[in-house]
Chains A and B, each alone.
Chain A
Amino acid sequence: MTLRTEPVVVNVGPHHPSTHGVFRMKLTFDGENIIDAEPVIGYLHRGTEKLAEERQYTQVITLTDRLDYVSSMTNNQAYVLSCERLVGIEPPARGKYLRVIAAELQRVASHLIGVGFFLQELGVFGGTALMYAFRERERILDMFEMLCGARITLSYMRIGGVLQDAPEEFWPSLRSFLDDMPGYADEMQALVFESEIVRARAIGVAPVSAEDAVAASFTGPILRASGVAWDWRKAAPYDVYDQVEFEVPTCEGGDNYDRFWVRMQEVRQSLRIIEQCCAQIEPGPVRATMAMLFRPPPGEAYVPIEAPKGELGFYLVSDGSIAPYRCHVRSPSFMSLTLFREMLVGWKLADAIVTLGSLDFNMGEVDR
């Protein structure tokens, strides 16, 4: 006897504990198995690109803070790099080093949150690792507060450098953070990655092959998890990434476990980069120009950077006025959702939640 069953369509989101903001998944279930999946986005659309066209170049920096609000610093960096190419100025060395230190701190913070959510989505109540991640991130935010007076919406970078030099007390607290962090990273790794339950839940789930990942425009950790060692910091070094040594961690499987594993390893590489920057940085000016108003010559510029979530770039077109004629954001989070359906179909609801978390997208950046 065969039972006649009907597929059930369930709207997971836009208000759901695990959809990372207002994201809606239209999942069709056969029992617990997903047989169709459709992402519905746009609930957080704020028209950032259009708003940028009506603001001066410097004012747009405040908009970039609000794209991927978990890593404002790299958003600032991507934007000012594009602006600098458009305007044609070069920041002084100390400014570049400060930018890299800030951006790598931001990468650590972002990846900590990402890895912390792994355990939360696998079902630890309150995400114990997430709370530990917040504890470490808090120290990074304290340092950001010293740099630029804000913790989340930073607006630290300026066209031609950074806003202001780091205060004296920044360096000791950075030092103690660099000393403590490897130990915490080990702890995190023991808690999250070694548990047999996590391994059983995540290894082999929703794998993406290298070809598929490249074809789907994946960038960042989710591309490297599939085995493609592609990193803009190596491929086209910006700021001072050509002065520092680091590795690009990759994995083979491209499954949920690997995607988080790559992030965990990148945290360690980021710490390495910050160490080297601290050793190399020298006193000097941090900002090439104090100007706030720019009239770049007509033209266009696009400088991709390696944001924590992947390739982030601002494509700016200038018509010679004080505001961009067009500002397009190439956001990694949006591209991460291209294989959404292919990754989810065939797996179970519980896997879908973890897969979604492993993409580590941010709705502020997807919807813009």
Chain B
Amino acid sequence: MGETLADNVIYRNVYAFVEGALGPDWAWAAYAAGGLAIILLVANGVMAIGTGYTWFERRLLGRFQGRLGPNRAGPFGLFQPIADAIKLISKEDIIALGADKVVFTLAPVVMLAPTILVLAVIPFGSGSWLADLNVAALYIAAVSGIATIAVMMAGYASPNSFSLFGSMRAVAMLVSYEVPLVMALLGVTILAQSMSLVDIVEAQALPFLIVTPLGALVFLAAVSAELNRAPFDVTEAESELVAGYMTEYSGMKYGVFMLAEFTNTVVAGAIFAALFLQGWKWAVLPSHLWFLIKVGGFVFVAVWVRATLPRFRLDQILSAAWKYLFPLSLLNAMLLAAEVIIWPERGAAELGIMAAVNWAVSVPAALLWSRAVSLRSAPPTLAALSPRAFSGAAGRARQAPGGEAAPDSAARSAGTEGG
């Protein structure tokens, strides 16, 4: 363990200043002031990184697509986020007629809240964390669920069908993906025998990405769904829903949504780095920088996937969550639990053996299971409901070579919440 909060330079100085000014009776105020100073620093710092990340994502996405991306404002377009912010702030703040004003205004704020709250438990470098919470994993799962409410609020408050569609999709999807997310966190928790992110990082003699590949896969899928990122970005789905739940937003309200979204990606990268990539450890560079590089690797992959993969349909996403990711994450958790009983001491060697076992089990399991679960589309079953006579033109499904057209009625009925 490195330094603790009391050793932090900023904290110490602010504490000493306030205590000196007000006297030792006001130690609690000094404590609060010191804490606030660090919170301000971390929250604003991460938001600044999130803002800068918008530039990174757009540039990189552009290069993936043979474009340059934003390159007008400043060198390499580096000031683009600032230009965007100025533009968004100076735009008229429109609240659509018929919108629920209070909820409509509140939604972006609620959207941003979990992003900042999660920062509390993330270890940014050796000894750099706001709180070494002993239930950090649980805290992350709980807090990130708030975003669902924000999306729901935005969709409910906007007088727009597309917004409603987007928010309904979001609720169905996010609620489903909480389960594999928590199961993936459970696997890591079992392995590290602790829910504290600091302990989890300390426990990684080998990166957990290698030790528990299945857990990492499930976590990645679940986290992309939580973040509305490709290939699970049905909530915004710009080719279908224009902008999903954000359709009616403009000006800085929209900006806050986007800020939350982009910052979320960075924060998710930080969580992934802490959970699966040894956090700040294995450092040849200063630990903060090393951590940042790992986060950068995560967001690079995220952008890469966004540039390549189309999105699933909502029912396929729900099928994937319940039929594919959930069983696999269960398998993963049980496997890890058994291994933890067999090897109570977990140094690098034991983790290596566990990794070998896990890879040997999980790769065939994932492949076999993917054969059993079909995401192929079934012919429509709603033809009979159609108000006009249905000619049956679309009724003959093709038997795809190799793939069986399995009717996934569970997923089908899950998509009928729009009324």
A and B touch in the complex (CB under 8 A): yes
Cβ contacts A281-295/B at 8 Å (1 or 0 each)? 000000000000000
| B interface residue count range (under 10 / 10 to 19 / 20 to 34 / 35 or more) | 35 or more
Q: B231 near A: Cβ within 8 Å?
A: yes
Contacts of A125 in B (CB 8 A): 61, 230, 238, 306-307
Taking CB atoms, residues of chain B closer than 8 Å to A35 are: 382, 385-387
Residues in B whose Cβ lies below 8 Å from that of A345: 380, 382-383, 386, 390, 394
Q: Considering the complex, which residues of chain B in the window 234-263 have a beta carbon less than 8 Å from any beta carbon of chain A?
A: 234, 237-242
Interface residues of B in 367-419 (CB under 8 A from A): 375-383, 385-388, 390-391, 393-394, 396-398, 400, 403, 405, 412, 415-419
Within 186-208 of A, Cβ neighbours of B (below 8 Å) are at 191, 195, 197-201, 203-208
A17-B242, A346-B382 are known contacts. Are A36 and B312 too (CB-CB below 8 A)? no
Contacts of B242 in A (CB 8 A): 16-17
Q: How far is the CA of A339 from the CA of B230 in the complex (A)?
A: 32
The answer to whether A201 touches B239 (Cβ under 8 A) is no
B246-285 interface mask toward A, CB cutoff 8 Å, 1 = contact, 0 = none? 0000000000000000000000000000000000000000
Binds B, one of A5-13, A78-86, A174-182, A329-337: A5-13
How far, in whole Å, are A205 and B312 apart by their CA atoms in the complex? 13
Question: Which of A87-95, A233-241, A266-274, A347-355 forms part of the interface with chain B?
Answer: A347-355
Question: Complex formed: what's the CA distance from A119 to B306 in Å?
Answer: 12
A254 touches B398 (CB 8 A): yes
State A208–B311 Cα separation when bound (angstroms).
24
Interface flag for A255 (CB, 8 Å): yes
Is A54 located at the chain interface by the 8 A CB criterion?
Answer: no
Binding site of B, secondary structure by majority: helix, strand, loop or mixed? loop
CA distance A351 to B394 in the complex (A): 13
- Are B314 and A207 closer than 8 Å at their CB atoms? no
**Cross-chain pair count, CB within 8 angstroms:** 189
- Complex alpha-carbon distance, A363 and B403, angstroms: 35
Q: Are B310 and A122 in contact, with the CB atoms below 8 A? A: yes
Query: Could you say which of B63-71, B80-88, B89-97, B189-197 contacts chain A?
Result: B63-71
Whether A279 sits at the interface, judged by CB under 8 Å, is no
* A131 contacts chain B at the CB level, 8 A cutoff: yes
Q: Is B134 an interface residue (CB 8 A)?
A: no
Instruction: Note all chain A residues with C-beta closer than 8 A to B313.
Output: 201, 348, 350-351
Contact between A122 and B311, CB atoms less than 8 A apart: yes
Contacts of B396 in A (CB 8 A): 207, 209
Q: Are B415 and A348 in contact (CB under 8 A)?
A: yes
Whether, in the assembled complex, B13 has its beta carbon less than 8 Å from a beta carbon of chain A, the answer is no
Q: B330: shortest Cβ distance to chain A, in Å?
A: 23
Complex Cα gap A117–B64 (Å)? 17
Indicate which residue in A28, A131, A350 contacts B234 across the interface (CB closer than 8 Å): A350
Task: Knowing A132-B66, A201-B313 are in contact, say whether A123-B419 is a contact too (CB < 8 A).
Answer: no
B400 touching A204, Cβ below 8 Å: yes
In the assembled complex, A120 has its CB within 8 A of some CB on chain B: yes
Q: Is the CB of A29 within 8 A of B418?
A: yes
| Separation of A132 and B308 alpha carbons in the complex (Å) | 12
The reply on B316 being an interface residue by CB < 8 A is: yes
Task: Confirm or deny: A135 has a beta carbon within 8 angstroms of a beta carbon on chain B.
Answer: yes
A252 contacts B by Cβ under 8 Å: yes
Q: Does A62 interact with chain B (Cβ within 8 Å)? A: no
Given A207-B379, A342-B391, 7 further pairs, Cβ under 8 A: A5-B416, A31-B416, A35-B385, A125-B238, A132-B65, A200-B316, A346-B386
> What are 16 sample pairs from A and B whose C-beta atoms fall under 8 A apart?
A8-B418, A10-B165, A33-B412, A35-B385, A123-B231, A123-B234, A123-B311, A128-B308, A197-B311, A199-B376, A200-B376, A203-B403, A204-B376, A208-B393, A208-B394, A350-B234
In order of increasing CB-CB distance, the 8 nearest A-B pairs are: A346-B380, A5-B419, A31-B416, A122-B310, A253-B398, A123-B311, A342-B393, A131-B65
